[in-house]
Structure 1
Amino acid sequence: MPSNSPILAEDLLLLLFQPNAGLHSGTGSIAGEGTLYYVLAGAVLADLGLGGHVRTDTGRLGTVTVAAVADKPPSDPLLRESWEYVADKPRGVQTVLAATGPTLRAPLLDRLVERGDLRRGTRKTFGLFRTSVLEAGDSRRRDGLLADVRAVLVDGAEPTPRVAALAALLYGSGTLPQFDRDIPWTAPVIARAEELKNGNWGAGAAAEAVARTATATIVNSVIIAAAVPPRG
């Protein structure tokens, strides 16, 4: 089991896992597979922003760029790969998402399996063909993450910066309507998600102004890159 704490992209991928959405009873699938790599790469960049490892800026043509904060590499290997990609020069956020996103799904899933959050199994299709499936693990960590996001979006709880970023990325991925049973897809929830997407995290997050701005910029870039309208 990994000794380090889960990164934001792990939490996001775990939330996007839909436990009973697979072809077989008790198996699941990942929501938003079509644009998943943009969203996971955005979560990595948001994590780097929250940790003060990168900063965002606006280029001459109005494009958003991301640059590494010198001499402040993250310790996590997956985060460090993205940090190193922007360490030599600032790059457009869209470029970073496209370059770093496609390789993230597999190692992130491996981590979730190693932690016991998910399990890999096999099932027979049509009684003949064995296929690989994903199943919920025993950790129940997904339940806790979902409860944290629901408290912020539905109950109006003030989020930690991490939960604010997680909720904003979930909304920005375009998959939030699929959580309607747990997080009602209502006008107040959409309005709250819009606030988080735009970096309005609440008075308690005032000290996180730089990270908040960077995260909001990254989340909005994810929405543009994935071409997913945030409203359902």
Structure 2
Amino acid sequence: MHISAFPHELAHRAATVLGSKLEASIILGERGFAVRAGSSTDAAGRCDRAESLADDGPCVDAIEKRTVQVVPVIAETERWEAWRDQSLREGFVSALAVPASVNADIAVAINLYSRTPDPWTRELVTAADGYAQLAASMVQLHLKLAEFEDATAGLYHQMSDLSATERAVGAIMYANDCSDLEARRILDSASRNRNVSQREVAETILRTLVMSEPRPEDGTAT
């Protein structure tokens, strides 16, 4: 299984361009689940992992409400307990979450973390919005390519329900650095909240997070 690298690359680029003292993560979300897709640092990744597992945090709210979430002083917020506590353990002081829609159901959000108080100027928020829109465009393209490949080669339709689910669990574990049990909880929560099968949720996760594996050439060993 090849997890797409572009969310990590985009998170690194966002952190570098938007401010040398900022750290960034990208969360992919749909009603009922949020998965960390990429981070510029391990510290930012651990914060977004806590947010994804709790399904509660500024990025989750930004995605659900399609509004920017500004956290001027993390220590003073009474919301998002798991995310807040992890952010404070990592030494972050302030945070910003900026969403962008991929389609009617799926969205992304960029979480920016600062170790200095409230650096969120209007110009910085505007620039962060631009990166969030770029991330959404890349996810949209990734989805279209995955759907095209599936239409022509049946990459996902040919999978059994069990195979699709297990591969999705693996993708969630890799992306969120979490346990098998935690990944299954995310998948089950998404299925229940959307009132769809785990297979449907699994295909969404595979199409957005996983690159198709190259097929062996004829005559080569498999």
TM (normalized to structure 2)? Answer: 0.31
TM (normalized to structure 1)? Answer: 0.30
